[in-house]
C-alpha cells in the first residue's frame, strides 16, 4: 500500500466520523425529545435515543438513510418499552388486591396501549407520522413502502383505533 492510499483512507475515516458527529449533534436532541413524548420519562427517552445511535454506529457503513434508521430503531425500542411496562403493570395488579389511585383512569384515554396493539407496519407508520411529525413521503421512504400503502396503513390504523376506543369502557 502506498503512502497516498493511507492518506486517502484516513481522510475517508475522518469524513465518516465528522458526518456521524454532525448527525448526532443535529438529531440526538430531536430523537430524545420524540422518545420523551412517547415514554413519559426523560431518562428512559435518553436511553432509547442512545441505544438507537449505538445500533446505527455498529452498522454505519451499511446504512443508506441514517436518520430513518434512527427513528425506526427508536420506534421499535419504544414498542419494547411499552410491552415491558404493560407486563410489569399486569404483574403488579396480580400481586396487589385493592386498586390504588394509580389504577384510576386519567382525564382521557391512553392511546399508547392501543397504538402498541396495532400490527407492526401500521404501528410504525403511526409513530413516525403522528408522533415524530414526519411527512407522508418521509414515512414511506423510511419504511421502504409506497406513499399510497402508508396512507392506507394510516387510514386502517385510525379505523382500528377508533373502534377500540369506542369498545373500551
* CATH code for the structural domain at 110-169: 1.10.10.10
Q: Where are the domains of the chain?
A: 1-104, 110-169
- Nearest-CA neighbor of 126 among 138, 113, 139? 139
pTM of the model: 0.62
Question: What are the φ and ψ backbone dihedral angles of 11, each rounded to 5 degrees?
Answer: -65, -40
pLDDT digits (tens, 9 = 90+) for 91-141: 666 555 444 444 444 445 677 888 888 998 899 998 888 888 788 998 999
**How far apart, in whole angstroms, are the C-alpha atoms of residue 142 and residue 137?**
9
The pLDDT > 70 percentage for the chain reads 80
Look at the domain 1-104 and name its fold.
Rna Polymerase Sigma Factor; Chain: A (1.10.1740)
Amino acid at each position: 500500500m502506498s503512502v497516498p492510499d493511507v492518506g486517502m483512507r484516513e481522510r475517508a475515516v475522518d469524513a465518516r466520523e465528522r458526518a456521524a458527529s454532525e448527525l448526532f449533534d443535529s438529531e440526538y436532541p430531536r430523537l430524545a425529545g420524540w422518545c420523551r413524548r412517547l415514554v413519559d420519562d426523560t431518562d428512559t427517552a435518553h436511553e432509547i435515543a442512545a441505544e438507537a445511535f449505538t445500533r446505527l454506529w455498529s452498522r454505519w457503513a451499511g446504512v443508506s438513510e441514517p436518520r430513518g434508521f434512527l427513528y425506526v430503531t427508536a420506534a421499535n425500542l419504544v414498542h419494547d418499552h411499552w410491552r415491558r411496562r404493560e407486563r410489569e403493570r399486569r404483574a403488579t395488579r396480580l400481586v396487589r388486591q385493592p386498586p390504588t389511585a394509580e389504577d384510576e383512569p386519567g382525564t382521557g384515554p391512553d392511546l399508547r396501549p392501543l397504538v402498541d396493539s396495532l400490527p407492526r407496519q401500521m404501528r410504525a407508520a403511526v409513530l413516525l407520522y403522528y408522533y415524530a411529525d414526519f411527512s407522508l413521503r418521509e414515512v414511506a421512504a423510511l419504511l421502504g413502502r409506497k406513499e399510497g400503502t402508508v396512507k392506507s396503513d394510516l387510514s386502517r390504523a385510525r379505523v382500528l383505533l377508533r373502534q377500540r376506543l369506542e369498545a373500551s369502557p
